[in-house]
Amino acid sequence: MTEGNFVDYVKVSIASGNGGQGSTHLRREKFVAKGGPDGGDGGRGGHVIIKGNENLWTLIHYKHQRHFKAGHGGHGGKQRSTGANGADVFLEVPLGTVVRDTQTNEVLFEITAHNEEKIALEGGLGGRGNWHFKSSVNQTPRYAQPGIEGKESQLTLELKILADVGLVGFPNAGKSTLLSVLTSAKPKIADYEFTTLKPNLGIVEYRDFQSFVMADIPGIIEGAAEGKGLGHYFLRHIERNATLLFLIPADSKDISQEYQILLDELRRYNPELLDKKRIVAISKCDMLDNELIQEMDDLMKPDFSDVDYLFISSVAQKGILELKDKLWLLLNE
């Protein structure tokens, strides 16, 4: 999936259908001079329904079409026949989509299961036909209820990607390179910060035809939790990852400090993120010889006593198999 095709935030306008009008028909048959009222009820207006689809990974299908309107209910007929219900409109979304009211920003619901359906906007009820209103003192009512009008609303669809492993790190830490090595994904890779501006997804193939999904989250900067840069835009994707893989380059000035800054940004955004399983990978270690790696390992042990870490190199394919094994164990504990 190319970066330009990954759409994870859209606003749509929706309208439900009007209810059909009740009928004022009076029964007329041969040999039945005064058959009385037999007008049927109007049909229900169409609903606007949000439906989960596990085969979708993005909201790109709403990039150019953002107005949706359900069908109106049919009018009631003679012989108490009810009008047809208006056609429902289904908006299919990827799993992990949060639906908000655009005006109030209130979370209405979330879609997390395949074929899960939630009514975003109900259609108007159909009006009752005149046969409902007959009585001993009004045997031929010549009126019926009009249908209730449908509603209009604006929704914000916000995708929080459902991935098994989320890559967390500062810009230019090597996340996209690692994703391209572990999966068949082809993210944009360059030697400058913020090369990745939207999440990339890839499927990591493991032993015995098993696999798991990895997400390359755009780089976090200090102050992201307060919305600095595109902080909130990036951090919300981490909420749905089962395991977090922290990636810190070997040429970092202070590996321990960089790790603590990343943890602090997650803590300030949502403290529950620290409850997730995590592992630290020191990337770009092809620049180091074995002696230097051993020295760094000795220095890191006191600061990383509560988390597992390892040295890898995406370019030299060093430590990649070990990383896969550790991630698989964390995912299946």
Residues 6 and 153 in one domain: yes
Of 144, 159, 174, which one is at a domain's C-terminal end? 159
Reported as a single tens digit per residue, the pLDDT across 196-248 is 445 677 778 888 878 888 887 776 655 444 444 444 556 677 777 888 999 98
Reported as a single tens digit per residue, the pLDDT across 151-191 is 999 999 988 776 788 888 887 777 878 888 887 655 444 44
Of 125, 159, 193, which one is at a domain's C-terminal end? 159
Residues 186 and 290 in one domain: yes
Residue 290 vs residue 101, higher pLDDT = 101
Predicted pLDDT of residue 184:
65
Cα angle 316, 320, 325; round to 5: 170
Residues 217 and 200 in one domain: yes
- Mean pLDDT, the chain, rounded, equals 84
Residues 41 and 78 in one domain: yes
Residues 263 and 143 in one domain: no
Domain that holds residue 244: 165-331
User: Is the CB of residue 249 less than 8 Å from the CB of residue 177?
Assistant: no
Predicted pLDDT of residue 34:
74
Question: Minimal CA–CA distance to 118: which of 87, 97, 135, 142?
Answer: 97
CATH number for the domain that contains residue 8: 2.70.210.12
Determine whether 90 is exposed, middle or buried from the number of CB atoms within 10 Å of its CB (0-12, 13-18, 19+): middle
Distance CA 37, CA 177 (A): 75
| β-bridge mates for residue 8, sequence order | none
Residues 146 and 180 in one domain: no
| Most confident range, picked from 15-24, 128-137, 257-266, 304-313 | 15-24
How many structural domains is the chain composed of? 2
Residues 19 and 94 in one domain: yes
| β-bridge mates for residue 283, sequence order | 249
Angle between helices 320-331 and 175-182 (to 10 degrees): 90
Predicted pLDDT of residue 5:
54
Of 100, 129, 159, which one is at a domain's C-terminal end? 159
Distance CA 317, CA 168 (A): 20
Reported as a single tens digit per residue, the pLDDT across 63-118 is 889 999 999 999 999 989 999 999 999 999 988 899 999 999 999 999 989 999 99
Residues 127 and 192 in one domain: no
